[in-house]
Homo-oligomer: A and B are copies of this chain.
Amino acid sequence: MMIYNPKDWWKLIFYFHKADTFRKLLPAMLGVMAYTAVFSYLENDVFHFMPIKNPLAVHSLVGFVLSLLLVFRTNSSYDRWWEGRKIWGSFTNNSRNLALKLNAFLPENHESKEVFRVLIGNYLQAVKDHLRDNTNPKHLAFVNKFDESFYENHKHMPNRIGQAIYLEINQLAKNGLLNPEQLLILNTELTSFTDNLGACERIKNTPIPSSYNIFIKKMIFLYVFTMPIGFVLEFKYWAIPIVTLVFYAFAGIEMIAEEIEDPFGTDNNDLALDTIVKNVKGNLAEILRN
């Protein structure tokens, strides 16, 4: 995720970072420009074949429904992005709460504190790697019996670590270090880890229905490529920048929606998962230090 000051207008307006929508769309915009230029030349200086009276009316009409569809697209993409952020906020909260509770419940300096510090950190690390198709046991920390061999031959690392956490908690309960009501109190946080993991997988694996995606792209294409027909009549060579600008407006919205639809990657607009995981590990160390 890019860190930026949302109030610095000039910098943002003249910002052309390599991840900027403007730069990404530039090749397509040049194509639209060339296409409109050729069309303008043919119509204005060669054929004069279209004696339409009100050439902008249709694009006004359809532009309206297309704009509404793009805002629908924007809303649903942003909701996914923001839900992703909420899930990772929940990971943070539950990690902290679990640590605070275990710290209070377990005897001072009990070795299990260290085990949970490592396992909870591992869980978040593994979820992040899992969402980026980058699972690697080497990214994990090892502690006591949960060493490298524990993770061997398992594909779904987060589930494996979840298993470890449950087993460790259950062992403490059997040893009488956690009493029944403490077990109940820990249950919410334990459950939420798997719930959050599942929610991330849902967002990652389920893009917007393909019909919408295809329909919107087809509409933008039809819209922009028929624009010169009417606009060249009305604006002559001025149609070239105009069509390009309108293309930038419509395709830009669609492109940003695509970018934030899956918020767990490493793009400029994606969530700062590295920072979040690092912060949680820091919090865990501060809370569970002996």
Contacts and interface: CB of A to CB of B under 8 A. Distances in A.
B12 A213 contact: yes
Interface in A186-203: 187-189, 191, 194-195, 197-199, 201-202
Contacts of A81: 209
Nearest to A188: B191
A170 B194 CA distance: 24
A169 B20 contact: no
A73 B150 CA distance: 48
A170 B283 CA distance: 21
Contacts of A146: none
Interface string A202-215: 10001111111111
Contacts of A167: 103-104
A7 B254 CA distance: 10
A88 to B, nearest CB: 8
B100 A159 contact: yes
User: What is the copy number of this chain in the assembly?
Assistant: 5
Contacts of A143: none
Interface stretch (A32-40, A111-119, A126-134, A245-253): A245-253
Interface of A: 1-2, 4, 6-7, 9, 12-13, 15, 20-22, 50, 52-54, 56-72, 74-76, 78, 81-82, 85-86, 89-90, 92-93, 96-97, 100-101, 103-105, 154-156, 159, 162-163, 166-167, 169-170, 179-185, 187-189, 191, 194-195, 197-199, 201-202, 206-215, 217-219, 221-222, 226, 234-235, 238, 242, 245-246, 249-250, 252-253, 256, 258-261, 268-269, 271-272, 283, 286-287
Given A22-B218, A56-B57, A179-B180, 7 more contacts: A4-B210, A9-B217, A53-B235, A65-B71, A93-B197, A159-B283, A188-B191
